[in-house]
Structure 1
Amino acid sequence: MQKVVLVKSYFIPTGKEVTKKIPTGETKKGLLGGTKDVYRKEAQWEQTGYSDCIIDSERLAIDLQQTIESLSRDGFLVKSITPVTSGDYSYKFQSQGVSSSKRILSETEKVSGGASFGYGYGYSYTDSLIVLAEKKFNK
């Protein structure tokens, strides 16, 4: 008996360093005789989202290890691990007519002369892993 397990990969969290005021638990006297809390500034990392192109390889390795251990406990022997590759892209293109004065062109007018520019890129990443396992038979 064979079993196929899909181990999904995830993108790494992205974020930034933010400075936060952390109370120290101390108080000090204010100018008019009152008391106020004492704070210290501390830089902390704050998650803002997820990458759109970098896989969290540490998490993928942990998830794969857990899958292999689970299959082994259930009496399966891993035969192969195959990566599933996916991809994404982005582009920008603009076309501009060259003229000495600004004017609005209708859809039927043709631009004589002009310039265009653009860029594009694509990349691939490991979307997931397919683990193929086979049941061990005791003789």
Structure 2
Amino acid sequence: MINKVVFVEAKFKPVGKINTIMVPSGEKKKGLFGGEKDIMTEERSWEQTGWSDCEIDGGKLSEDLQNAIMSLNKEGYEVISVTPVTSAKYKYDWDQQKGRRDYGGSGYGYGYGYSYTEGLTIVAKKIS
């Protein structure tokens, strides 16, 4: 039996903003002094400004998984398992303020962490 392992990387979600611009509608209206003026309409468009640092794109991951499975099937492999691979990020900081001699001073500290799906591992076996 021949096995094959494939890693499908998760991509982060695109982040952006919505831009609003005024564009001519193609229609005209008469002005106060007999001239014609374009009628403007509001048009919205989404502009990508970067990538999320904490949210993965689940739809894209599903598509990539489907493509990897189809490729394995074409090569004569049958999928045995799909396992998520989890990673994590964290940040912390602390600081101590010096106080008077008879006091120890004060300080603060904080920390946080979170996990996310880094990707998926597919294990497949060759069909005889």
Q: TM-score, normalised by structure 2?
A: 0.80
Q: 1:97 to 1:32 in 2, by over 3 A?
A: farther
| Higher deviation after alignment, 3-12 or 43-52 | 43-52
- Secondary structure of 2:73 counterpart: helix
- Residues 1-51 of structure 1 deviation map (CA, whole Å, 9 limit, x = unaligned): 221111110111112233222332345566787766443223333222111
Gaps of 5+ in 2: none
**Pick from 97, 100, 121: which aligns with 1:130?**
121
- Secondary structure of 1:70 counterpart: helix
Higher strand proportion (structure 1 or 2):
2
| Higher deviation after alignment, 51-60 or 17-26 | 17-26
Q: 1:36 to 1:93 in 2, by over 3 A?
A: farther
What's the Cα RMSD here? Answer: 2.6
Amino acid aligned to 2:84:
P
Q: TM-score, normalised by structure 1?
A: 0.74
Percentage identity across paired residues of the two chains: 50
1:113 aligns with 2:68: no
CA distance in structure 1 between the aligned counterparts of 2:14 and 2:118, rounded to whole angstroms: 16
